[in-house]
Amino acid sequence: MVNRCICHNVPFATVAAMARDGRSLAEISQQTNCGMGCGLCRPYLWVVLTTGATNVPVLSPSQAAQLSSKVDPLLPKPKGKKQP
Ligand code: FES
Protein backbone atom coordinates (compact mmCIF):
# COMPACT_ATOMS: atom_id res chain seq x y z
CA MET A 1 0.00 0.00 0.00
CA VAL A 2 1.05 3.56 -0.66
CA ASN A 3 -0.07 6.15 1.87
CA ARG A 4 2.02 9.27 1.34
CA CYS A 5 4.16 11.42 -0.88
CA ILE A 6 7.55 10.10 0.08
CA CYS A 7 9.55 13.05 -1.25
CA HIS A 8 7.78 15.56 0.98
CA ASN A 9 6.45 13.19 3.66
CA VAL A 10 2.84 14.22 3.06
CA PRO A 11 0.33 11.56 4.16
CA PHE A 12 -2.54 10.99 1.75
CA ALA A 13 -4.81 11.43 4.77
CA THR A 14 -3.65 15.07 4.83
CA VAL A 15 -4.32 15.41 1.10
CA ALA A 16 -7.80 13.92 1.48
CA ALA A 17 -8.62 16.20 4.42
CA MET A 18 -7.50 19.28 2.50
CA ALA A 19 -9.60 18.20 -0.49
CA ARG A 20 -12.63 17.70 1.76
CA ASP A 21 -12.06 21.27 2.97
CA GLY A 22 -12.48 22.42 -0.61
CA ARG A 23 -8.89 22.92 -1.70
CA SER A 24 -7.97 22.09 -5.27
CA LEU A 25 -5.13 19.72 -6.09
CA ALA A 26 -3.05 22.71 -7.22
CA GLU A 27 -3.63 24.43 -3.88
CA ILE A 28 -2.80 21.26 -1.94
CA SER A 29 0.37 20.79 -3.91
CA GLN A 30 1.42 24.42 -3.51
CA GLN A 31 0.89 24.24 0.26
CA THR A 32 2.49 20.84 0.88
CA ASN A 33 4.77 20.30 -2.17
CA CYS A 34 3.05 16.94 -2.58
CA GLY A 35 3.63 15.69 -6.12
CA MET A 36 6.35 18.23 -6.83
CA GLY A 37 9.36 15.97 -6.32
CA CYS A 38 9.95 12.75 -8.23
CA GLY A 39 6.30 12.57 -9.33
CA LEU A 40 5.76 8.93 -8.38
CA CYS A 41 2.88 9.86 -6.05
CA ARG A 42 0.99 11.77 -8.75
CA PRO A 43 -1.18 8.88 -9.97
CA TYR A 44 -1.92 8.01 -6.35
CA LEU A 45 -3.10 11.57 -5.77
CA TRP A 46 -5.74 11.00 -8.43
CA VAL A 47 -6.97 7.91 -6.57
CA VAL A 48 -7.02 9.81 -3.28
CA LEU A 49 -8.99 12.70 -4.74
CA THR A 50 -11.50 10.59 -6.65
CA THR A 51 -12.11 7.86 -4.08
CA GLY A 52 -11.07 9.32 -0.73
CA ALA A 53 -8.79 6.33 -0.16
CA THR A 54 -5.68 7.11 1.87
CA ASN A 55 -4.04 3.69 1.56
CA VAL A 56 -3.79 2.88 -2.12
CA PRO A 57 -2.66 -0.46 -3.57
CA VAL A 58 0.51 -0.25 -5.67
CA LEU A 59 -0.45 0.65 -9.23
CA SER A 60 0.87 -1.15 -12.29
CA PRO A 61 3.07 0.92 -14.61
CA SER A 62 0.23 1.20 -17.14
CA GLN A 63 -2.27 2.26 -14.47
CA ALA A 64 0.20 4.84 -13.14
CA ALA A 65 0.81 6.26 -16.61
CA GLN A 66 -2.91 6.50 -17.32
CA LEU A 67 -3.68 8.27 -14.04
CA SER A 68 -0.64 10.54 -14.29
CA SER A 69 -1.95 11.86 -17.57
CA LYS A 70 -5.11 12.93 -15.73
CA VAL A 71 -3.46 14.50 -12.71
CA ASP A 72 -0.41 16.15 -14.28
CA PRO A 73 -2.40 19.01 -15.91
CA LEU A 74 -3.96 19.82 -12.51
CA LEU A 75 -0.65 20.32 -10.70
CA PRO A 76 1.48 23.46 -10.70
CA LYS A 77 4.41 23.46 -13.09
CA PRO A 78 7.72 22.65 -11.38
CA LYS A 79 9.67 25.77 -10.49
CA GLY A 80 12.80 26.49 -12.45
CA LYS A 81 11.86 24.52 -15.54
CA LYS A 82 11.28 26.43 -18.73
CA GLN A 83 8.08 25.67 -20.56
CA PRO A 84 8.32 24.94 -24.29
S1 FES B 1 6.68 10.71 -3.93
FE2 FES B 1 5.56 12.54 -4.19
S3 FES B 1 6.84 13.74 -5.44
FE4 FES B 1 8.04 11.97 -5.06
pTM: 0.88
Q: Check pLDDT > 80 for residue 80.
A: no
Summarised one tens digit per residue, pLDDT across range 14-65 is: 999 999 999 999 999 999 999 999 999 999 999 999 999 999 999 999 999 9
Q: Alpha-carbon distance 25 to 46, whole Å? A: 9
Ligand 1 centroid, distance to 84 Cα (angstroms): 23
Mean pLDDT, residues 59-77 taken together: 92
Q: Give the position, in ligand 1's atom list, of the atom nearest the Cα of 37.
A: 3
Ligand 1 centroid to residue 45 C-alpha, Å? 10
At residue 12, does pLDDT exceed 90?
yes
d(CA 45, CA 67): 9
pLDDT at 37: 94
**The pLDDT value given to residue 10:** 97
From the CB of 28, is ligand 1 less than 6 Å away? Answer: no
Query: Closest ligand 1 atom to the C-alpha of 10?
Result: 2
Half-sphere exposure of 47 (CA within 13 A, CB side): 24
Distance CA 16, CA 32 (A): 12
